[in-house]
Structure 1
Amino acid sequence: MSAADTVSTVDGGADWAPRRRVGTRFLRSEMGLIARRRRNQAALAVLAAIPIIIAIVIAATRPAPGSGPPLFAAMLDNGLITVLAGLSIELGLFLPLAVSVLAGDAIAGEANTGTLRYLLTVPAGRVRLLAVKFGGVVVATFVTVGVVALTGGIMGIALFGTGDMVTLSGTTLPFGEALGRVALAVVYIVLCLVAVAAIGLFVSTLTEQPIGAAVAMLMFIILSQILGAFSDLDWLHPFLITNYWSAWGDLLRDPPAYDQMLLGLLSAGAWTAFGLSAAWARLTTKDITS
């Protein structure tokens, strides 16, 4: 009798068979791979530097209210605004580009280097690989946005202090409540970018060129932004992946409005489900030769 057929009887005859333990070694290995890549380190440094540069410029020029974007003038009263200003600027291009590169490299990068077929020899096969790759990109997205927010917050508080935050409604928020609003905005932005990661993962299964996957994903994001600028296409706007990205701004109202953010979370969830389903369908039927 083989080991696989061995069954022990315990507790009055109940059949017992050993279960395979589900570990995190594969995911930890993937996270280490992402963290060690020099291009990812360089990209993270550039992204983290943007809110720092913004804070320094605002501190040096001290713009008067109404002379520029509202967030820039409000930054002089509360350093936490630096976080929102930095993320607002980067959300237009830099953060989607960073996530697109991470997601595009997930599957296509392995195929390009010839390691994909070897990864698929592990017991769980393609489904496990897809789950680990997506998990790695999601964690990297959280880290990326978190680092940008942290560096912006530290620099902003150091230069502008922790005074009351002026809301879009004209009221003020104490530092503790303002910090909570900013944290919610950061989490919301991350969840919107998770949808980009899911679609990017699907695109990554279609090619063996990670750069091509990243470029295709970035073009998709830009096209969504362009279509969202046409008022005649307002019927299409709710279906665009970028339509609700700026809804976090409603957190700066008093009281905060959550309607658009809830729609944004629904949209992000739908795009994430679509991307993962398409990636699963493609990867589980793809003939792996690399």
Structure 2
Amino acid sequence: MRSEMGLIASRRRNQIGILILAAVPIVIAFAVRQAAPDPGVGPAFLADITTNGMFVALTALTVQMPLFLPLAVAAVSGDALAGEAGSGTLRYVLTVPVGRTRLLLAKYLAALAGVLFAVLVVAGTGVLVGLLLFGAGPVPTLSGFELTYAQGLWRVVLAVGYATAALAAVLAIGMLVSSLTEQPIAAMIAVVIVTMTMQIIGALPQMEAVHPFLIPTHWMAFADLFREPVFTEPMLAGLRVFAVYVALGLAAALWRFRTRDVTS
């Protein structure tokens, strides 16, 4: 895992990606500072930023969950197996006396640590820039109650954990796709197509029967952390769906990787 995490951290495109993810909450904060939005206009939490800078972090997560963060997951998962196979290093890695199951799980957990770091960068940057531009104070909830700043910060941490769980499901799909090809770009594109297709299906009323089983249906449920009392059922439903995708995705990836004839 240390080796895999080192590879992920050392890749230049991942470093640039982290900078781009961090830039989004900064842009949001300065835009709101320049011109406050009207209530109900824009993404969730945007109009609340002027009342407490902590909402910069939540707005940034809301904005980046549909595209930027899944794209980052696609890049990491595409490199995990397909990237090494494409560069010809995977067969040399497999000469190390470590089972394929352990190797794939190590790659998954290292990638998941990278995903958690990316989400923390988004939320942490949002909290810091929001604190500098809009200050701290009581955090108003969507139900009209107020939380202390410490309570609000803890709920941001919980939101980070929930968002990471959602992306863990996307990562499991990415590991499966990465085990099917030796072209990392193809794996990345496939993961993006899968997540975009789920979002399109989720927007069609005619497909309402399958909406509860789609990842994007649930990945914004962290907004319920900012209600009083907290609405837990939508998040619990989301966590169950994410767990199923992780279990099935990793099981299929393990089966494919363990039976695959690696020639490059």
Identify the TM-score tier after normalising by the shorter chain.
over 0.9
Kindly name which structure, 1 or 2, has the bigger radius of gyration based on alpha carbons.
Answer: 1
Q: How far apart, CA to CA, are the structure 2 residues paired with 1:277 and 1:215?
A: 22
Task: Specify the alignment match of 2:243 in structure 1.
Answer: 269
Name which structure has the greater RCO, CA cutoff 8 Å, separation 6+. 2
Q: Are residue 109 (structure 1) and residue 83 (structure 2) matched?
A: yes
Task: Specify the alignment match of 2:100 in structure 1.
Answer: 126
Q: Are residue 75 (structure 1) and residue 49 (structure 2) matched?
A: yes
Give the superposition deviation at 1:69: 4.1
What residue identity is the alignment partner of 2:33?
A: A
Q: Are residue 147 (structure 1) and residue 121 (structure 2) matched?
A: yes
Give the superposition deviation at 1:44: 0.5
What residue identity is the alignment partner of 2:233?
A: D
Q: Please list the CA deviations of residues 206-249 of structure 1 after superposition, one character each: whole Å capped at 9, or x if unmatched.
A: 00010100000000000000000112222101111221011111
1:36 to 1, 4, 10: 10
Q: Please list the CA deviations of residues 74-115 of structure 1 after superposition, one character each: whole Å capped at 9, or x if unmatched.
A: 101111100000010000100000001100110000100101
Preserved contact between residue 191 and residue 268 of structure 1 (Cα < 8 Å) = yes
* Richer in helix (by share): 2
Q: How far apart, CA to CA, are the structure 1 residues paired with 2:76 and 2:178?
A: 10
Give the superposition deviation at 1:178: 1.0
What residue identity is the alignment partner of 1:176?
A: A
For 1:229-240, what aligned pairs fall within 5 Å after superposition?
229-240=203-214
Q: How far apart, CA to CA, are the structure 2 residues paired with 1:121 and 1:138?
A: 25
1:224 to 181, 189, 198: 198
Task: Specify the alignment match of 1:213 in structure 2.
Answer: 187
2:152 to 174, 178, 191: 178
Preserved contact between residue 43 and residue 63 of structure 2 (Cα < 8 Å) = no
Give the superposition deviation at 1:66: 4.0
What residue identity is the alignment partner of 2:34?
A: A
1:50 to 11, 15, 24: 24
Query: In the superposition, relative to structure 1, how do residues 50 and 217 fare at CA in structure 2: closer, same or farther (>3 Å)?
Result: same
2:61 to 72, 78, 87: 87
Preserved contact between residue 80 and residue 179 of structure 1 (Cα < 8 Å) = yes
Structure 2: where are the runs of 5+ without partners?
none
Q: How far apart, CA to CA, are the structure 1 residues paired with 2:126 and 2:38?
A: 21
Aligned length: 264
Query: In the superposition, relative to structure 1, how do residues 67 and 190 fare at CA in structure 2: closer, same or farther (>3 Å)?
Result: closer
What residue identity is the alignment partner of 1:254?
A: E
Preserved contact between residue 166 and residue 242 of structure 2 (Cα < 8 Å) = yes
Preserved contact between residue 119 and residue 129 of structure 1 (Cα < 8 Å) = no
Query: In the superposition, relative to structure 1, how do residues 113 and 178 fare at CA in structure 2: closer, same or farther (>3 Å)?
Result: same
Q: How far apart, CA to CA, are the structure 1 residues paired with 2:242 and 2:234?
A: 12
What residue identity is the alignment partner of 1:226?
A: I
Q: Are residue 200 (structure 1) and residue 174 (structure 2) matched?
A: yes
User: What TM-score, normalized to structure 2?
Assistant: 0.97
Give the superposition deviation at 1:287: 0.8
Preserved contact between residue 44 and residue 59 of structure 2 (Cα < 8 Å) = no
Q: How far apart, CA to CA, are the structure 2 residues paired with 1:229 and 1:73?
A: 24
